[in-house]
A = this chain, B = another copy of it.
Amino acid sequence: MRPSPLLALLAFVLVAAQAANAAPTTIPDAALKTAAELRERALADTLAWEITEGLTTEVGPRLAGSDADARARDWMIAKFKALGFDKVWTEPVTYPRWVRRSEHAEIVSPFPQALALTALGYSAATPEGGLRADVVGFASLEALEAAARDAIEGRIVYIGTTRMDEKAGRGYGQGSRVRTRGPSLASGKGAAAFLLRSVGPEDTRLPHTGVTHFDDGVAPIPAAALSNPDADQLERLLQRGQPVSLRLALDCGIEGEYTGANVIGEIRGRSKPNEYFLTGGHLDSWDLGTGAVDDAAGVAITTAAARLIAQLPKRPARSIRVVAFANEEAGLYGGKAYAESHRREIARAILGAESDAGSDRIVKVTATVKPEARDAIDRIAAALAPLGIAYDRAAPGAGGSDLSAVHAVGMAGLSLHQDTTRYFAWHHTANDTLDKVDLEPLRQNVAAYAVAMYLAAEAKGDFGSKPGAFAQKEP
């Protein structure tokens, strides 16, 4: 049977549509020229510094669920509005409200002295008046896993993995696995409390907090990190072979739920305003420092980059959406909420890149996009090269902390990897303060985000965002 003219037309349209869909995504030459101008303006801009200074000074520590959570939101809403963002709104995010009131530890015997530690997020409190128990030490999570219950029951479990040293290949992953898995494992074997060596490379007596997690059915126990010098001290005592008895007094714990919000500011695109580049950082911080490198800087870098794009004589085709995420620290709540509420329309988020590794220089770019968009990423990478940014074409890029949750529901991801040599010494500690932020690398970050965001927003074609697109590529 001959096909009817109508069917032939339909087939042509479908094929053409497929071809259009499969055509390579491109970056117009004119956009590269504008990107180069943005780059130069960013390198002389001070807005990222001003935002970092303002948020860390006028709000200070911003623990999710604390009074400062609301103050930070108000501050950020006002900032987006003052900067002339076209649309500013919030989207609610609900999470447990974990509170830290006080913490104290001391060696009772054999050699009485105080130890510097800090409770992990979601740590339980010690009983009224504190808890006293002997310490049982393990060299790894695996050694704890292998230990018999009666070696652990009623004791304080300490895991003293080798100090973090990124250069020696003992990175953040190993330590943070001890932090997230150790307390639950110890509690399951009847431990009275759990201590670990801080997940950080430095010899400063400021311990690193961070989130932990208790499995369903496992009772939360007091869980805390010793600073590296205090971990050294405890290990020296354990090595002397006498019983080591500690007193812990942690007043902290979960007090119900709290509803905060992602704070969102958008610069409207010229011709496809419903599509957007998704960027941002997280607005919350741990309570010990003022959250300068983690992550006021990320909010500041991406906001400043978006503002530079807003000031262009001609906007890019698509919008730039900056999200100041809620409660990243205690479980990526802001990112997960965004992913959940935007998953059906995730194709609109054409590409995403979050800044959440401090304020030092971006050294590398990677991306996870559809194959037809690889040439466009190549062009973006070439535009970033003058900033000293290498390009690893083969490596994935999930877009960064909160955005990893959004990437998991189908958003294409761009990762702008920073030099984290200094970052891991400061984040999650009292030392995360404004003095750790240097203007020149901060500007380089703004330049990189402005260039990448602008070029992607101006691209002809998309990067592959659609529901479920990259789910299988998650590590």
Interfacial residues, chain A to chain B (CB-CB below 8 A): 53, 57-61, 67-68, 107, 110-114, 116, 203-206, 228-229, 232-233, 236-237, 289-290, 429-431, 433-436
Contacts and interface: CB of A to CB of B under 8 A. Distances in A.
B113 A60 contact: yes
Contacts of A107: 60
Contacts of A113: 59-61, 68, 290
Nearest to A236: B57
Contacts of A435: 203, 228-229, 232
Contact of A229 (B61, B203, B237, B433): B433
B206 A204 contact: yes
Contacts of A430: 116, 205
A218 to B, nearest CB: 32
A160 to B, nearest CB: 14
A424 to B, nearest CB: 15
Nearest to A287: B114
16 contacts: A53-B236, A58-B111, A61-B113, A68-B113, A116-B430, A203-B433, A205-B206, A205-B289, A205-B429, A205-B431, A206-B206, A228-B435, A229-B431, A232-B433, A232-B435, A233-B290
A429 B110 CA distance: 24
A203 B436 CA distance: 8
A110 B433 CA distance: 18
Contacts of A434: 229, 232-233
Contacts of A59: 111, 113
A301 to B, nearest CB: 20
Contact of A111 (B57, B110, B233, B433): B57
